[in-house]
Amino acid sequence: MAVLLWLWAIPTFAELITFEGLGFNEQDPVITIGLASFVAEIGIQGGPQFGFGGNWGNDTGNAEPFSNPGNVFITRPGGYLNLDPIEEVTVDFAEPVESLSFLVCDIDSRQPSPTAIEQLCAEIFDADGASLAVITATAPITGDHGDGEVILVDFGEVGAILKLVVQVINVGPDPSAHRLGFGIDNLQFNPQIVPAGEATWGNVKALYDEHRDP
């Protein structure tokens, strides 16, 4: 009769990616940091193209709230020079994660009219590409572009996350008024805790024999 050993999952701890202290320069592509792989580029607080630029003037130096954890963040590839009206950053995870959150800076609108109203859409997906949750936030119609205001995006305890897509689009009356710029920082998540299940004594002994010192 096989002897069963229950293997309990070891608790994991939150991972926090601040993009600080890694030697990044403005416009550097961000590829992989820990479990996260990015389609994004680096922005620096006060950088003319990436922190933040726009059709209606650069928001240079206005990412001030990011200066508490540091002044390095990520933004969409190409920054202000990217002509695509949909601003997008994607993050893929090497293994499932849960409790995902991050900061977004500079979702704003522009007067008069207002010509541009930025809307954030953050969506997470599982291994099959199915949507797990969507969070949206629309800029107030105040025309205060350049204020560098930071908002928290928090998916709570949702798990099995393998992909994050963050898009910023203009939902205002003038579709040509885009490229106002945005930044993402302080990406935090927990690696998914997966119960290890059970194993036979023979399997455990074989694993021990494989890894023990000669």
pLDDT tens for each residue of 84-130: 767 899 999 999 999 999 988 877 776 666 577 888 999 999 999 99
At 5 the pLDDT is 40
**Phi and psi for 130 in degrees, rounded to 5?**
-80, 140
171 and 119 Cβ atoms separated by less than 8 Å: yes
H or E element: which one contains 204? helix 201-211
Domain boundaries, given as residue ranges, for the chain: 14-193
Fold of 14-193: Jelly Rolls (2.60.120)
pLDDT tens for each residue of 143-173: 555 555 678 899 999 989 999 999 988 887 7
Letter string b/e over residues 139-166, b meaning 16 or more CB atoms within 10 A of that residue's CB = beeebebbbbbbbebebeeebbbbbbbb
pTM for the full predicted model: 0.76
Of all residues in the chain, the percent with pLDDT exceeding 90 is 29
